[in-house]
Amino acid sequence: MWNFILDLSKSTKLSDIHIHGDTYAAYREHGDVIRTDRIIQSEEIRSFLQQNLSESDFFQFIDSKDYDFALEKDGYRFRVNAFQEGGKSALVLRRIESKIPSFDELNLPAYIRTVPTIETGLVLVTGPTGSGKSTTLASIMDVINATHHGHIITIEDPVEFKHESKSCVVSHREVGRDTKSFLSALKASLREDPDVILVGELRDLETIQLALTAAETGHLVFGTLHTNSAPSTITRIIDVFPPAQQEQIRSQLASSLRCVLTQRLLKRVDTTGRVAAFELMICNTAIRNLIRENKVFQIPNIMQTGRAEGMISMENSLKTLIAENKISPSSGV
């Protein structure tokens, strides 16, 4: 089965591969899912998992009926989710490029290019699954790794982009392999002399609380959430906490948050491939006050008036891409 995966990866520009037992395999290319003419038998999937997982990890998959892991082989790297579907094993493999793209290649907003110079605080990259959040963060980490002299700790499930230590020392911690949870790894990281901490996903109250504390106490913390705008990101974080704690969290967030970058990947109409649309909220004094005063609903107005500072609304980003004939008008809906 690996030869099939390898051949498919070489012959297409796929982002994901879908493999279900006893049916046709498929892959996603430029946002579209395309069926192949290859039927993968259930026995092949089970054999593939046994070959690429340790015995204990394989039995954990059998017990829990889903399992995440990273697979690196023959120069290709994938983030894999194995799961049970219809009583049979299935796989979705997300391809991870070995080369970390530059800011220019990703066409990131100008302000993001200054993020590696920030010394402390919280930087959030948000968007739906498959919107390129990990790639954006990898690009930022690569610049910090090359230009700073410090310790970078990444906590991911699983580790996606692998950073070789350059001017920085880089420690990769994979949930399941190197630590029991995001929370336990984040707690431990504060005793590991970090300068920069990347948390693959801010999933729960305790992890968010600790990330805010780390950002307040002199560290630069990066995290991701599955939210579709800066205001909804702030609301999501605050709503995780019970009402009695929310005023304190608003205060912490207002003082530690540096920016929220939200991104979407959209199918291009001018050429093959996809293009990113961005929303960027930069935490200036006005936005900090709105967070403290629980007036998050007013943030879009400040973002419109903050365009000179580099702020971008998703609406304007989409309008620009439509005007440049890069996406269809229906994409901006």
How far is 234 from 198, CA to CA, in rounded Å? Answer: 19
How far is 230 from 259, CA to CA, in rounded Å? Answer: 9
How far is 228 from 279, CA to CA, in rounded Å? Answer: 9
Contact between 61 and 82 under an 8 Å Cβ cutoff? The reply is: yes
Q: What is the pLDDT of residues 58-89, one digit of tens each?
A: 999 999 999 999 898 898 999 999 999 999 99
201-228: average pLDDT:
94
Domain ranges of the chain: 2-96, 103-332
171 contacts: CB under 8 Å, gap ≥ 6: 151, 152, 153, 154, 192
Task: Tell me: pLDDT of 316 over 70.
Answer: yes
How far is 126 from 98, CA to CA, in rounded Å? Answer: 22
179 contacts: CB under 8 Å, gap ≥ 6: 155, 173, 185, 188
The reported pLDDT for the residue numbered 130 is 86
Q: Please state, rounded to an integer, the average pLDDT across all residues of the chain.
A: 94
The reported pLDDT for the residue numbered 111 is 95
The token pair that represents 30 in the structure block: 């430029």
The token pair that represents 84 in the structure block: 């049970």
Write the single-letter amino acid at 239. Answer: D
Q: Between 332 and 90, where is the model more confident?
A: 90
Task: Tell me: pLDDT of 129 over 90.
Answer: no
The reported pLDDT for the residue numbered 281 is 98
The token pair that represents 266 in the structure block: 């959209």
- Give the three-class secondary structure for 70: strand
Q: What is the pLDDT of residues 89-128, one digit of tens each?
A: 999 999 988 889 999 999 999 999 999 999 999 999 999 9
Contact between 279 and 229 under an 8 Å Cβ cutoff? The reply is: yes
Q: What is the pLDDT of residues 171-197, one digit of tens each?
A: 999 988 899 999 999 999 999 999 999
CATH fold for the domain made of 2-96: Beta-Lactamase (3.30.450)
> 331: pLDDT confidence band, cut at 50, 70 and 90?
confident
Q: Between 332 and 305, where is the model more confident?
A: 305
Q: What is the pLDDT of residues 240-286, one digit of tens each?
A: 999 999 999 999 999 999 999 999 999 999 988 899 999 999 999 99
Class of domain 103-332: alpha beta
138-158: average pLDDT:
96
Contact between 42 and 89 under an 8 Å Cβ cutoff? The reply is: yes
> 165: pLDDT confidence band, cut at 50, 70 and 90?
very high
The reported pLDDT for the residue numbered 332 is 61
Strand order through the sheet with 66-73: 32-40, 23-29, 14-20, 88-96, 76-85, 66-73
The pTM assigned to this predicted structure is 0.89
The reported pLDDT for the residue numbered 134 is 93
Contact between 283 and 259 under an 8 Å Cβ cutoff? The reply is: yes
Contact between 225 and 202 under an 8 Å Cβ cutoff? The reply is: yes
The answer to whether the peptide bond before residue 194 is cis (omega within 30 degrees of 0) is no
278-304: average pLDDT:
97
Q: Which residues, in sequence order, are bridge partners of residue 304?
A: none
Contact between 111 and 259 under an 8 Å Cβ cutoff? The reply is: yes
Percent of the chain with pLDDT over 90: 90
How far is 162 from 170, CA to CA, in rounded Å? Answer: 9
The token pair that represents 271 in the structure block: 């050429």
The reported pLDDT for the residue numbered 97 is 82
Task: Tell me: pLDDT of 333 over 60.
Answer: no
> 212: pLDDT confidence band, cut at 50, 70 and 90?
very high
How far is 79 from 16, CA to CA, in rounded Å? Answer: 9
> 7: pLDDT confidence band, cut at 50, 70 and 90?
very high
